[in-house]
Amino acid sequence: MGGRSCLNLLPCSTSTPCRASAAASSCRYFVHHHRTRARVQASTGRRGAAKVSCSAASGQAPPSQSTIKVVIVGATKEIGRAAIAAVSMARGMELAGAIDTQCIGQDAGEISGMEEPLEIPVLNDLTMVLGSIAQSRGTGVVVDFSEPSLVYDNVKQAAAFGLSSIVYVPKIEMDTVTELSAFCEKASMGCLVAPTLSIGSVLLQQAAIQASFHYNNVEIVESRPNPSDLPSQDAIQIANNISDLGQIYNREDMDSDNPSRGQVLGEDGVRVHSMVLPGIASSTSVILSGPGEIYTLKHDVTNVRCLMPGLILAIRKVIRLKNLIYGLEKFL
């Protein structure tokens, strides 16, 4: 690990617009419980609580009472622009830096569609911004929306200047998370690696875990506007969470290789079906069934703004940590 250089630049993305307004927030969470005409048989719960396979938070330290200074890495991405606006309007925090290789010199408020400029230019030098925060002895958090190859070095740089980190990079490898965990433990610096920042998505996962103890059949149905990253991180996380709980699902055709039956995630028979249609909202449903009933959990996301409440919560919480935790659910 010692041979890594401290990179602070983001890869260029020609598809990222430099001037765009963040759309209105919309996030929906549904629970549907449908009973068929057949007599409903009572379910019996199993003893033992479901556990999410993520490291627990520990070693908390009291936070500073000063305003939290936030640096957004990946500032010109859609989620970065939404984060700039959300942080700027949040109580007790302020935007201290916007880092990207796009739109250098443009005002962070203007590229985020805010009514007034923030007088904070987009820069491509993370070290300079971190040094300025360190000199002011302020409490700071680096929010990283960059790329998997840059995450380790960005977190390392943040820690060197005394700042905590939040990493939302869906394609990050678990080996990188393990390396980051060891580094943060040694450096006594807080870091959150979040597969999702959506509070609704976390609630869906937690409800699916509880329900999985009572149903023998479960399938995940998701829709996305483009075919990249399928199955989605949400589907993978749900399947991982409800696997290894002592349940085997969909026994009737668990070994079926019929393509129309979808992809099996994990070893316990959980299947996922992915639908791709341009313009469709991102949606994840967990459908469970038992004798005479169907239980449906559904979460719809219509734009990136619904990740902002989870991000603001994470910024407030991560400054208390002295280690790395995996998963936003640790903060709920």
Question: What gap in Å lies between CA 207 and CA 287, rounded to an integer?
Answer: 11
- Residue-wise pLDDT for 223-272, tens only, equals 998 887 788 888 988 988 888 787 888 877 777 778 888 888 877 888 89
Numbers of helices and strands, H then E, in the chain: 8, 13
- The token pair that represents 81 in the structure block: 């622009």
Residue-wise pLDDT tens digits, 169-180: 988 999 999 999
The answer to whether 184 touches 212, Cβ cutoff 8 Å, is no
Condensed to tens digits (0 to 9), the pLDDT of residues 213-230 reads: 999 899 999 999 888 778
Q: What is the pLDDT of residue 29?
A: 56
The residue type of 207 is A
- Whether 91 shows a pLDDT value over 90: the answer reads yes
pLDDT tens, 177-201? 999 999 999 999 999 999 999 999 9
94-134 pLDDT, tens digit each:
999 999 999 999 999 999 999 999 999 999 999 999 999 99
| More confident position, 320 or 58 | 320
d(CA 101, CA 99): 7
pLDDT at 26: 53
CA 32 to CA 210: how far, in whole Å?
15
Helix (H) or strand (E) holding 133: helix 126-135
For 64-102, what is the HEC assignment? Answer: CCCCEEEEEECCCCHHHHHHHHHHHHCCCEEEEEEECCC
